[in-house]
Amino acid sequence: MEEEKEVMEVEERVVEVEHPLPCLSESDTQGIIKGRALFGYVGIEAVLDQMRRKTMKAGFEFNIMVVGQSGLGKSTLVNTLFKSKVSRKSCTPNYEEQISKTVHLQSVSHIIEEKGVKMKLTVIDTPGFGDQINNENCWEPIVQYVNEQYEKYLKEELNVNRKKRIPDSRVHGCVYFLPATGHWLRPIDVEFMRRLGKIVSIVPVIAKADTLTLEERLEFKQRIRQDLQANGIRVYPQKEYDEDAEDRILNDKIRENIPFAVVGTDKEHQVNGNKVLGRKTKWGIIEVENVAHCEFAHLRDLLIRSHLQDLKDVTHNIHYETYRVKRLNESNANGLALSPLTLENGTLEKSDAESHL
């Protein structure tokens, strides 16, 4: 009997060696089982395919705001980014450029489909910004619009019978256009980015950068970075939002290039037998997607190819969460239901025109 017991104990020890299980102490709440510790194929990785199928069926939303004075090529750059006529100017019949006396926010939406993936793109334009002799408080309607979208989302969340999918009109990113002056940031630039940087992700760009030489461009970018740091302006991607070392390395490269010196165009030209997007001059063709000519490709990669989902996550988890906590604390302090959002500048003008591309 004693020999049989010894044999059984040896077999148990062998089994434990063959299939080592995670040891949990009293303080541990979970163990990690991976690789050879699994008895066979489980199929956990298939959840990625499930998520992909659901996303492709439902599609997703992306809302981008463009801000800058008239004549900086905002509409052209947006069209170049998405390689289609998505700007308000491009899809408005008989559009006439007029200098607005006040800042009016107008949006236009499109459904863009590529390789089975659908995206509802909304471009918010800010005609009238920075175009007046006196531009005092011209950023207020923009701040108000951003907060208004947070308020809409918050009210939908607080409904007893919530929608299965809450429509998301929150601004996921703001591209701020700086004129290629070659000097320092203007007071209006500093004030706008200081205020908006607290509630939305801002990506500054130098518009029509082909008007600067390479040396002027480099010096101007350095001056802008100094101004941003001196004034405590937060632009995307912020260091404090880096999730790990891999994110930090990627984002550090982006931060070194900000602000992006960009050129936009929707016209194609032949270069060495290939069609390229570019601006034709007497001296040659400025290729928009050639990083040796301008930094448009870096901006496109940031907004669409590498950080689009992160822009949405930062909007939801940081900016919207900050707004939500503030509003709920206000309502709890008053002991009342959520008070209506005050509109200081009246109703904001919005034009929602949807099209399929």
Question: Does pLDDT of 44 surpass 80?
Answer: yes
Range in 134-138, 244-248, 312-316 the model is least confident about: 134-138
Range in 123-127, 272-276, 310-314 the model is least confident about: 272-276
Question: Does pLDDT of 207 surpass 70?
Answer: yes
Render pLDDT for 315-357 as a digit per residue (tens, 0 to 9).
Answer: 999 999 999 999 999 888 776 666 666 544 333 443 444 444 4
pLDDT at 315: 97
pLDDT at 349: 40
Higher pLDDT, 149 or 18: 149
- Please state the domain count of the chain: 1
Render pLDDT for 54-69 as a digit per residue (tens, 0 to 9).
Answer: 888 888 999 999 999 8
The answer to whether position 31 is within a domain reads no
The answer to whether position 341 is within a domain reads no
The answer to whether position 356 is within a domain reads no
The answer to whether position 249 is within a domain reads yes
Render pLDDT for 79-91 as a digit per residue (tens, 0 to 9).
Answer: 899 988 887 666 6
pLDDT at 99: 56
The residues near 207 (Cβ < 8 Å, ≥ 6 apart) are: 68, 72, 73, 74, 77, 177, 178, 179, 180, 262
Instruction: Measure the CA–CA gap between 67 and 56, rounded to whole angstroms.
Output: 31
Render pLDDT for 260-307 as a digit per residue (tens, 0 to 9).
Answer: 999 988 888 888 888 888 888 888 888 898 898 999 999 999 999 999
Instruction: Report the pLDDT averaged over residues 180-189.
Output: 90
pLDDT at 339: 66
Instruction: Measure the CA–CA gap between 223 and 185, rounded to whole angstroms.
Output: 8
pLDDT at 15: 44
The answer to whether position 33 is within a domain reads no
Question: Does pLDDT of 110 surpass 60?
Answer: yes
Range of the domain at 162: 57-129+136-331
Pair of tokens at residue 185: 């940031």
pLDDT at 32: 79
Q: How confident is the model at residue 238 (pLDDT cuts 50, 70, 90)?
A: very high
Q: What percent of the chain has pLDDT over 70?
A: 81
Q: How confident is the model at residue 14 (pLDDT cuts 50, 70, 90)?
A: very low
Instruction: Report the pLDDT averaged over residues 116-120.
Output: 90
Q: Could you give the count of Cα atoms lying within 13 Å of 325 in the half-sphere of its Cβ?
A: 7
Higher pLDDT, 29 or 126: 126
Pair of tokens at residue 181: 């002056």
Q: What percent of the chain has pLDDT over 90?
A: 44
Higher pLDDT, 43 or 1: 43
The answer to whether position 22 is within a domain reads no
Question: Does pLDDT of 208 surpass 60?
Answer: yes
User: DSSP alpha helices (H): ranges in the chain?
Assistant: 2-18, 46-58, 74-82, 140-158, 187-196, 214-230, 245-257, 296-300, 308-314, 321-334
Render pLDDT for 138-182 as a digit per residue (tens, 0 to 9).
Answer: 899 999 999 999 999 999 999 988 888 899 999 999 999 999 988
**How many separate helices (H) and strands (E) can be counted in the chain?**
10, 10
pLDDT at 4: 54
Q: How confident is the model at residue 222 (pLDDT cuts 50, 70, 90)?
A: very high
- Say if residues 154 and 45 touch (Cβ distance below 8 Å): no
Verify cis geometry, omega within 30 degrees of 0, for the bond prior to 237. yes
H/E element, 89: none
CATH code, 196: 3.40.50.300
Render pLDDT for 20-29 as a digit per residue (tens, 0 to 9).
Answer: 545 544 555 6
Binning the chain into helix, strand and coil, the percentages to the nearest 5 are: 40, 15, 45
The answer to whether position 4 is within a domain reads no
Q: What is the mean pLDDT of the chain?
A: 83
Q: Is the pTM of this model over 0.75?
A: yes
